[in-house]
Structures are given as C-alpha cells and as structure tokens.
Structure 1
C-alpha cells in the first residue's frame, strides 16, 4: 500500500483584520513540506485546486513542478484537478511537462469538484456540471493514449489530427485517478473505464463506504479489466502528534476551516464532540498519535483492501513547525509500522 500526504494550501485568517495570511509564505512552506515528505520516504504527495481566498493553491501543477526540482522519489499528483472547468489539452500538457521534469513521477487526479467557484470563473455553466466532466474526461483519456488526437464532443470544439505535445515518459501515458466523494455514478464511471479510484472520506464512518467500494470492485471485474491492476485509495483528514495537548489544540484550527466552509453550505457549527467522534476508531479523522493513526490505516486496509492512503494534513493551516513534525512522524514512524504489518 502506498502512503502519502495531501494538501489544499489552507490559509488561516487574522482575527483582527479578517484577512488570510500571506500566500507567498504558505507556498514556500508547502515546498519545504513536500521536500520533507520525500526525504522521510513517503510514496506520494497530492495537491488540490481551489479558487477561494482561504486556499493558496489554484494551480497544483505549478507548485508540483517546483517541488519536482527539490525531490527525488515521491510521486507528485493533483488531488484534484477540477477537470469539468479545465481544458484537457492543457491539463495533459502541464502534467506531461511535470512528468518530464520529475523523471516520470507525475500523476493526475481528476474530479468534478465539490467547490464550484471555478465554473463561473472560467465561463462554464453549472447546468452542464455532469456532461462537462464526462466529455472532458473522454478527451483527456484520448490524449493520454494518442499523440495525434481526433475527438468530437458537444461542449467543446472538435480536434482533428491535432498533435498534443510534449508526451509523458511512459509511452506518453500518465496515471489518471478518478476522485469521488461517494456517488455511485462516479464510482461506476471509474470502474467501467478501468481507472484507479480514490474516495474522499472526510466525515461519518468509513465503513459506510464499504458498499460503494465493493460496487467498484464488482463493476471493475464485470467490465473485464485486469484485477492485478486495480487500485483503490482513500483520502482523509489527518494530523499526527505524540503530544496529547497538540491534538487538543489542533481542534481550533480544524473547526475554524470547517466552519468557514460550512457557512456557505448551511452546515451547523463544528463541535468538539464531532472532532472526538471522528478521531475514534470508527470515525473518519486520522488525527492522533502514531499508534492511533497506524492502527486506523491498517483498519482501512482490512476494511477496503486499499492500495493507497493519502492523509490530508493541512486543514485549518496549522503552523509550519507543527506540519513538519506531523509529516516526520508519518514518514518515520507510521509508514514503517504499516509496511511492516503488511509484510512490505
């Protein structure tokens, strides 16, 4: 099982001014954090795309390209690229360029987007939310397979004998993961296409997702894809510290971001009870000491048979020093313990 870290580049807000902290500083911190994740032996690092004042990253591929120059082994992926409001030709070109810079370490995670700010920003109509994703995914997969592309859809101009360059290192093909939030339609799409699946589990109880993941496995096999190539991952909020007070203190960071997002979605205020329930074995938060997080990841492997776990680690913008310590614990303590338990 691959183990990695994901981030969105959360920005905390100054309570006095109401302004987010400096994005320049945050981006420099993220690069240092990716470098450390590589040094401590983690397998993958993912960065998400957002177009809001509370996130510093709108172009994951740019930050990942910078990270490629200071890392050696870690895979670099988007978690996720909002493909519905992106241009598939440019997405492929950007990640193929990243792949060349990183010597074959680039991947793409694509999704429809749980945040919708990018749609009006780039001139897309939300009434086409589903169709945009289906068409653009079809085009991206075509480009990923063919250097010279012939393609026609309904919402974008056709491509006729168009050469898409540069090409990625593996005969031009990049790993493309489908990221889902829990809808059967999205899972079925990934299974039909034989694409790796990553499920965002950030609330409730993970075991509630078991029927969904079993559905993916059944459909993947039904559509006659090679079962030895099946890949399933989960992406969940995570934070590590062996100091109980640090875990207690992290609640304020976590709740502040959840409340900021919740305010626009009609959610009730995030409570300490939700935090502690989420941290329990059956909860969706991988927040705790190294033993607790190790046991929980192994439980996910037992429950789902996952091949990848990504701990989303910067919710609420904890301090850089705190993040560095959390990453170090994940790479030096949790990852070796998980690998040993799985005999790898």
Structure 2
C-alpha cells in the first residue's frame, strides 16, 4: 500500500429503536447495507462485516451481506471482520469469497480469525478442546487455496485433498488477512502463512501493540518472505461535539461492557473507565477534530497501512449513520492533513 487507507468495520450489532427496544435482525441488516453505501459515497477504502451466531448480532453470513453491498457500491473494498475460520470449511470460505470477488469486480478481502465468541463451535459440531489445531490446520489450508493452484493437503480436521483445484478462480487473487487480538504466537503464524496482519485494538493504549508489529516484521524477515500489510481496528463514534458523542455512547457502552464482563468473568466497569478509554485507551469517541487527533497519534505510534473505525456502537442507527458521514467527510481529511 502506497499510503494509509481508512475503513469501517461493523459486527452487525443489534441497535435500539427510539423507545430503546432492539431493532429486528432484518432491519439491522438492511441498515448495515445503507451504511456501506454512505461509506462508499464518502470515499472510504474498506468496509468490513463481522460474523456472529448470537441474538445481539444480526449477521451470521457476512458474504451474503457483502454481496448485497457490492450491488449498490462502486469502489469500496469489501471484507469480513472476521470470518470465523475455526468453525468453517476453508474450501467453502475460498469459494464464497471468490464469488464475492467476481460480483464486486475484484473488491473482496478475507479477514480470517477465531472470532470474539465461541457459539459457532457447538453450533457446527466442533469441540473447543480442538481450538488450536482447528485454526492452525484450516489457516494452512486456506493459505494454499488462495494460490489458486492444485492443492494437496492432509490434516485431522477435514478430508484430505490431493491435487485438488477449487473454483471459481479470480482475476487478480484475493487479499487476505488474519485478525489477531494480541497473541505473539498468532502474529508469527500470520507471517508464516503469508497473510496480512489485522490487529484488533479494543482496549487499552495503542502503544502496547507496537511490539507485535515489530515481531511481525521480524518474523517475515527471518522467513525471507515479502512483507504483508498491517491494519488496526478500534471502536468509536463521531458526533458534532465531544460532549454529544460521549452522551450518545455512554449508556450503551456501559451495558455492553457489563454484559461482556458477566460472560467472560471480568470485573464490572468502575467509575471513570469509560472516560479513561476515550482519553487514554482504544475508544475513539468525540467530535471530528478530537477523533482525528487521536487517530493521528495512533498512526504516528504504529507503522500500519490501514486504520479501521468500528462504528457500530449500541446506539440508534441514525447516530451510527451520522458518525459514518462525519468520519468520511471530516475526520479522514483532517487526519490526512495532519499527517502530511
């Protein structure tokens, strides 16, 4: 990449309506497609859609949603955020994204990962005791399939392949990344299989991820392979002013953080945690200039090729859509000016 790209990510989280009630899944998906159209119109570079299998998220099949987005957009690149590779079949992942690549005239990208939740494992009949081997073997197979050459592969998690071709082929290949939450082993694995590194920075200061980027580059040097691109992704929301942005986000952030804590055994959020995540951590919430300056600090700290803004906070869709407009029309131009 010759210059830094700017994208958006969404997990397809269910939004509240005007009365605070959950919006039905079908409407959330339609709203998400409208979000991508606005992102394309504002000149953003990438739109990523996550995969989940639980009631508080609407998207379980990102490729279907991305295909619908492809039919209504012209230039923005389209990918997953992430495809839960451990509980999927790499052959089908390749086939679906190769089809999306054709539909979108070469705009498809794969961001493979283990996912933030584990619901897909029992849903598709996988044992969590096989967590490591599932991802290792399937990533190796996906890497081979992306060459679009005959593949011979043998493992323990699916049927073996012998000199196997998969279709459709693509015109220029598919850009592929691995979403990593901060494990050194995952960073080295990503380098070994030749994927781009997509770091999910969802808590704490961005500076703590600098060693992972250095490790990724060092691993590629030691493996004597070409350097692959690096991206980061962090949550946030842009409003007209700092005060308005915090007012919009606070209650939903608190409810989501409390629920996730109960599920994962975290301590409940303390007074001041929300403000600290905005001022010192990974939450990009504020007016356009505040968010732009924080993104600039991150880009000056981390050597990356793309910054993705995870915009789907648990707030009404109108606030999300306005955030996208401000991000594309004001924040990104400010960031480019400040960096230049």
Counterpart Cα distance in 2 of 1:248 and 1:333: 20
Aligned to 1:326: 323
Instruction: Write the deviation string for residues 74-117 of structure 1: whole angstroms up to 9, x where unpaired.
Output: 00010100100001111011111110000000000011222111
Q: Contact conserved, 1:147 with 1:167, CA < 8 A, in 2?
A: no
Pair 1:47 & 2:49 matched: yes
Residue 191 (1) aligns with residue 194 (2) = no
Shift in Å, 1:174: 0.9
Partner of 1:301: 299
Determine whether 1:64 maps to 2:61: no
Is the CA contact 2:278–2:284 (under 8 Å) kept in the aligned structure 1?
yes
Aligned residues: 336
1:100 match: 102
Q: Distance in 2 between matches of 1:130 and 1:95?
A: 24
Partner residue, 1:274: 273
- Cα distance change of structure 1 residues 251 and 5 upon mapping to structure 2, 3 Å threshold: same
My pick for the range that moved more, 94-103 or 292-301, is 292-301
Query: In angstroms, what is the RMSD of aligned CA positions?
Result: 1.8
Structure 1 range deviating more: 85-94 or 250-259:
250-259
Q: Does 1:22 align with 2:20?
A: no
1:287 partnered with 2:289: no
Secondary structure at 1:107's aligned position in 2? strand
**Aligned-partner Cα distance in 2 for 1:272–1:71:** 42
CA contact 1:255–1:271 (8 Å) conserved in 2: no
Cα shift readout 1:12-38 (whole Å, capped 9, x = no counterpart): 478x9x984300111110000000000
**1: CA distance, partners of 2:103 / 2:271:** 44
For the residues of structure 2 that align with 1:19 and 1:339, how far apart are their CA atoms? 38
Q: When the two structures are superposed, what TM-score results if normalisation uses the length of structure 1? A: 0.93
CA distance in 2, matches of 1:98, 1:148: 21
Mind listing any 5+ residue stretches in structure 2 that lack a counterpart? none
Cα distance in structure 2, aligned partners of 1:28 and 1:165: 29
Of the candidates 285, 308, 311, which is equivalent to residue 310 of structure 1?
Answer: 308
1:150-208 per-position Cα deviation (integer Å, ceiling 9, x unaligned): 221122110123331111221xx211101101010000111223321011111122211
Q: 2:6 aligns with which of 3, 11, 30?
A: 3
3-state SS of paired residue (1:221) = helix
Give the CA deviation at 1:338: 1.8
> Post-superposition, which runs of at least 4 consecutive aligned residues in structure 1 deviate over 4 A?
none
Q: How far apart, CA to CA, are the structure 2 residues paired with 1:188 and 1:148?
A: 26
Contact kept? 1:300, 1:306, Cα under 8 Å: no
